[in-house]
């Protein structure tokens, strides 16, 4: 269970309204870093280093990979831990800066075991369960082509598949000549030839490759002397001929000139830049060095293919479509929140948990239609006195359209339905689920749906 993050207090301290924190940060209820995307037809999945377990006072402890996803770029679903190295392998303890890719209906997750080697895990779905197919690292310092290298960090894998079906894995760190790229065989868990050497000016970490309009892009974090910004190279070939293109993005706000990591991707016809900074830890009043959080911005290109420098905002990503409230919606799906936590659910997936009086989640762009909703139902559990789910439009103090009472169900994982009538929920609205009751934890919420 994670530390509660009171988004309302963060918003007041930062001078923003709660609504303005929707994209910066996203998934503000937990500490995540080193994001990389996997795009499917209907969703984008972001795989992250998990800073929730890092000591507040200092040092990284990143033993597992967290995944969040979205279908509309506003509301994000927390899928929890999808891979824990110590449980799933016999050789790895860390899962730094993961990256995932799909081939032939199978999903492949690459991760750094610290800076020592890189492993791969496989799964039948984007959210696991991921298992170790090799029983050993995929890449080590002894892999042909990795050496010679001076003080090389062997981590930060970036997976890329070209239009012809050839897959590559970019990786490396700590030196201009320490960029490496490996061609992968069709099975995605073995190498096709020796590792290939690349060069990038001021290369530090966060290797990432993508392609747009026939042009290949390689983005990376620069060294401290180069401001630890995100720079990029371009080429007409995926592994050679790269030349310097310029700056993708400066250091993110409230990242305190600390490590920087980003990735770029296209989803539903728009391009995005996902990154981490440290605003949540800053506003929570804890040391910012080892507790990071996610942010996302739209990415633009000039007519000549060069990248427009990212301008950081607090609410700069437009929602793509609207959320359907008449289909099942997971409780852990929201755009912003105050005080909530998530835990694994005994019935699968995750659940909102440790919900106290006044906590809330906001779901953006919910389309209730012209006729509107008449009933609300939820899957809930409580080992305490229960509480109330207030259904409000626009925010935690918005128009009340329904009040759903939750009784004691006999346990925090003893799930039962709860229902209530709804009146006044029509059109496209931001929906706030506000939890009220006594002073003890009230209830857990698995999912909800309107009728």
Any idea which residues carry the catalytic annotation? 34, 205
Report which of 328, 290, 289 is spatially closest to residue 447, judged by C-alpha positions: 328
Question: Is-cis flag, bond preceding 365, omega within 30?
Answer: no
H-assigned helices in 53-150: 85-88
Distance, CA of 121 to chain centre = 18
The beta-strand segments (E) located in 60-151 are 64-70, 76-84, 96-103, 106-112, 118-123
Q: What burial class does residue 311 get, using C-beta atoms within 10 Å of its C-beta: 0-12 exposed, 13-18 middle, 19+ buried? A: exposed
Q: From CA 242, how far away is CA 51, in angstroms rounded?
A: 33
3-state secondary structure of 226: helix
H-assigned helices in 342-443: none
φ/ψ of residue 93, rounded to 5: -120, -15
φ/ψ of residue 247, rounded to 5: -105, 130
Q: From CA 359, how far away is CA 418, in angstroms rounded?
A: 19
């Amino acid at each position: 269970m994670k530390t509660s993050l009171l988004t309302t207090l963060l918003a007041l301290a930062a001078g923003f309204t709660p609504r303005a924190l929707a994209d910066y940060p996203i998934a503000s209820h937990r500490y995540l870093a080193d994001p990389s995307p996997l795009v499917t037809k209907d969703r984008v999945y972001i795989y992250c280093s998990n800073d929730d377990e890092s000591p507040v006072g200092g040092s990284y402890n990143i033993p597992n990979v967290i995944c969040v996803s979205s279908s509309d770029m506003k509301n994000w679903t927390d899928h929890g831990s999808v891979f824990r190295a110590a449980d799933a392998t016999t050789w790895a303890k860390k899962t730094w800066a993961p990256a995932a890719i799909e081939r032939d209906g199978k999903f492949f997750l690459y991760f750094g075991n610290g800076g020592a080697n890189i492993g791969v895990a496989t799964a039948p779905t984007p959210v696991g369960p991921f298992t170790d197919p090799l029983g050993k690292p995929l890449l080590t310092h002894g892999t042909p082509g990795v050496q010679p290298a001076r003080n090389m960090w062997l981590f930060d894998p970036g997976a890329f598949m070209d239009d012809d079906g050839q897959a590559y894995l970019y990786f490396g760190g700590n030196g201009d000549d320490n960029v490496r790229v490996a061609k992968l065989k069709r099975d995605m868990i073995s190498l096709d030839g020796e590792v290939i050497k690349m060069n990038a000016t001021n290369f530090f970490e966060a290797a990432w490759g993508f392609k747009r309009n026939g042009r290949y892009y390689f983005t990376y974090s620069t060294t401290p002397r180069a401001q630890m910004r995100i720079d990029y190279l371009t080429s007409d070939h995926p592994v050679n001929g790269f030349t310097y293109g310029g700056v993708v993005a400066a250091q993110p706000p409230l990242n305190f000139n600390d490590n920087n990591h980003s990735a770029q991707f296209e989803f539903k016809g728009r391009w995005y830049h996902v990154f981490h900074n440290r605003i949540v830890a800053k506003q929570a009043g804890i040391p910012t060095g080892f507790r990071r959080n996610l942010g996302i911005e739209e990415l633009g290109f000039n007519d000549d293919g060069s990248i427009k420098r990212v301008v950081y905002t607090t609410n700069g990503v437009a929602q793509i479509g609207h959320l359907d409230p008449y289909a099942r919606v997971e409780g852990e799906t929201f755009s912003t929140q105050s005080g909530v936590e998530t835990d694994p659910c005994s019935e699968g997936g995750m659940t909102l948990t440790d919900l106290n009086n006044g906590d809330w989640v906001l779901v953006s762009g919910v389309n209730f239609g012209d006729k509107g909703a008449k009933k609300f139902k939820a899957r809930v559990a409580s080992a305490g006195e229960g509480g109330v789910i207030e259904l409000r439009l626009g925010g935690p103090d918005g128009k009340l359209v329904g009040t759903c009472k939750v009784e004691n169900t006999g346990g925090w994982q003893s799930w039962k339905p709860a229902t209530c009538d709804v009146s006044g929920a029509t059109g496209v609205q931001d929906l706030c689920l506000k939890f009220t009751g006594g002073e003890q934890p009230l209830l857990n919420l698995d999912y909800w749906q309107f009728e």
